[in-house]
Amino acid sequence: MDKDITLRLKNVEGHVRGIQRMVDDGAYCIDVIQQIQAAQAALSKISSIILENHLNSCVITAIRGDDPAERERVLREIRDVFDKTNRSY
């Protein structure tokens, strides 16, 4: 999984550099926005992959474990992540 995520992040990095070049070159605004949206979608996919891995490893381990405080902690972390995602900026 780490190699896949690293490759995806490097692709996003290159994409962001391309967006910077577009801005520097005065590219058409809508084209820049579309490229920004593509980079955001790629980051969102990376986030989803990491979240899925976390749910299938850390969270399951905590839920199956004997420590109620640890179960609450991992569930609170998941809730907090979604709360931050849903906030308006």
Interaxial angle between packed helices 2-24 and 29-54, expressed in degrees from 0 to 180 and rounded to the nearest 10: 160
DSSP code for 26: T
Distance, in Å, from the CA atom of 6 to the CA atom of 45, rounded to the nearest integer, reads 13
Q: What is the pLDDT of residues 50-62, one digit of tens each?
A: 999 999 999 999 9
Q: What is the pLDDT of residues 13-38, one digit of tens each?
A: 999 999 999 999 999 999 999 999 99
| Distance from the first to the final alpha carbon of the chain | 31
CATH of domain 2-86: 1.20.58.1000
pTM score of the predicted model: 0.84
Domain ranges of the chain: 2-86
Distance, in Å, from the CA atom of 71 to the CA atom of 13, rounded to the nearest integer, reads 35
Cβ count within 10 A of residue 19: 19
